[in-house]
Amino acid sequence: MKQLKRCGKASRTETLLMVQMLSNSFMILINFLVAYFLGIFIVTFLGWAMLDILDRLINFNQALLFGLASSTMSILFLRKPRERARTKSTIVNQTASRYRH
Confidence class for position 66, pLDDT limits 50, 70, 90: confident
Q: Please count the CA atoms within 13 angstroms of the CA of 71 that sit on its side-chain side.
A: 5
pLDDT value of position 2? 64
Least confident of 6-15, 24-33, 35-44, 81-90: 81-90
- What does the domain layout of the chain look like in residue ranges? 2-77
How far is the CA of 60 from the CAs of 10, 48, 57, in angstroms?
Answer: 36, 19, 5
The average pLDDT across 53-78 equals: 82
Tell me which of 44 and 93 has the higher pLDDT: 44
The average pLDDT across 2-15 equals: 70
Q: What is the mean pLDDT of the chain?
A: 78
What whole-number distance in Å separates Cα of residue 57 and Cα of residue 60? Answer: 5
Q: Which helix (H) or strand (E) holds 57?
A: helix 48-63
Answer left, alpha or beta for residue 18, where phi above 0 means left and psi between -120 and 50 means alpha.
alpha
